Structure 1
Amino acid sequence: MSVNFCMKCGSPLEMRSIDGVERKACISCDYVFWGNYSIGVGGLVMKDGKFLLVKRAHDPGKGYWTNPGGYIEQLESIEETVEREVEEEAGIKAKVNRIVAIRDLPRQVHNLYVAFVMDYLDGTPTPDGIESDEAGFYSLDEIEAMNVAPFTKWLINVAYEEDKTGLFKDIEPKMKDHLLYKISST
């Protein structure tokens, strides 16, 4: 995808050296196109020693079992996003506990993915029929016999092996309007 016009005023963009990098910049205002990014989230919900998984109903990854997740909306916090995605794709209400992994995938659309361990609150696994066509809680032994996406297997191992470690939400952040995470919950 090529960006050719300013997102602020609609004027054409031109290539210009900014901070030593050739970037597209507006010929009429101060707009600079810094790049194309996406932020994805995933929830690792455990109940009775089993992990919540959904079977992907479409590409990418159709037929693979994965942890539920998706992309953030512009005005939605990352916690709201992962809680919404888990409920939409699997019918489960869960609350963020901590961050256990971050994946950085530089490519045409630079993707950052944040994985959360979440506390199960309520619900029975129910696929949404759009993004997922099956959902359920599965033990580690069951997961070994399933067609689980490699990244999801890695996330499950991280969440299982690194019990109680990760980044926790700062419940008394010193910066207003910021959602901050730190190494411990104290």
Structure 2
Amino acid sequence: MEVQFCSACGQPMETREVDGTPRRACTACSFVHWGNYSIGVGALVERDGKLLLVRRAQEPGRGYWTNPGGYAEQLEQLHDTVQREVLEETGIEAVVTGVAALRDQPRQIHNLYVAFSMAYLGGEPTPDDVEVDAAGFFSLAEMETMNVAPFTRWLVDVALNGRSEGLKRDDQPVVPLDGYGLFRI
């Protein structure tokens, strides 16, 4: 569906070339609609050699075991999003230690998914009984008999067999940049 009205001022939009690409642009102000995007996050929380998984109670993926996660709110930093999602879905407290993997999925709504390595802090897995109906820490051997989603199987491999430290959170950047979520090698 094409954007018809400007989300900044409400005036009609038109298609015109912006930076060599046809884009919807406002006829009255400088607003340009750059596209439709969503940002998802996922948690890779390890405890005693096992990973935290949840069983989806809703579509998409109802009945599949996945890593906890969700979508970023507009004014929420991604590392805060994933910590919130883990706590909401499982009751587990965990803190981000780094970025473990990215998935780039261009489609009607371009989706970027960031998987975070997280350190377990406390709590026992308790499903929220809304988005997920089961939660727990599972070994690779236990996962063999479970209905684990294909993308989650890939993330499990990244988490347990990764050959890199990934991007680590930079809590003390050389230049203070308030409001930024910074990660570096």
Q: What interval of TM-score do these two structures reach, taking the shorter chain for normalisation? A: over 0.9
Please state whether the residue corresponding to 1:151 is helix, strand or coil.
helix
Rounded Cα–Cα distance in structure 1 between residues aligned with 2:163 and 2:38: 28
TM-score by length of 1: 0.95
Amino acid at match of 2:125: P
Q: Is 1:103 the equivalent of 2:103?
A: yes
Alignment of 1:68-107 (within 5 A): 68-107=68-107
TM-score by length of 2: 0.96
Rounded Cα–Cα distance in structure 2 between residues aligned with 1:163 and 1:49: 16
Amino acid at match of 1:119: A
- Aligned residue for 1:180? 182
What's the RMSD between the two structures over aligned residues?
1.1
Q: CA deviation at 1:128?
A: 0.7
Rounded Cα–Cα distance in structure 2 between residues aligned with 1:72 and 1:11: 28
Larger mean Cα displacement after TM superposition, 135-144 or 154-163: 154-163
Instruction: Give per-residue Cα distances to partners, 1:49-85, cap 9 Å, x unaligned.
Output: 1111000001110100000000000111111100000
Please state whether the residue corresponding to 1:81 is helix, strand or coil.
helix
Q: CA deviation at 1:175?
A: 5.1
Larger mean Cα displacement after TM superposition, 158-167 or 124-133: 158-167
- How many residue pairs are counted as aligned between the two chains? 183
Rounded Cα–Cα distance in structure 2 between residues aligned with 1:120 and 1:163: 21
Instruction: Give per-residue Cα distances to partners, 1:143-166, cap 9 Å, x unaligned.
Output: 111100011011011111126610
List gaps (5 residues or longer) in structure 1: none
Q: CA deviation at 1:118?
A: 0.5
List gaps (5 residues or longer) in structure 2: none
Amino acid at match of 2:121: L
Rounded Cα–Cα distance in structure 2 between residues aligned with 1:21 and 1:123: 50
Please state whether the residue corresponding to 2:84 is helix, strand or coil.
helix
- Aligned residue for 2:44? 44
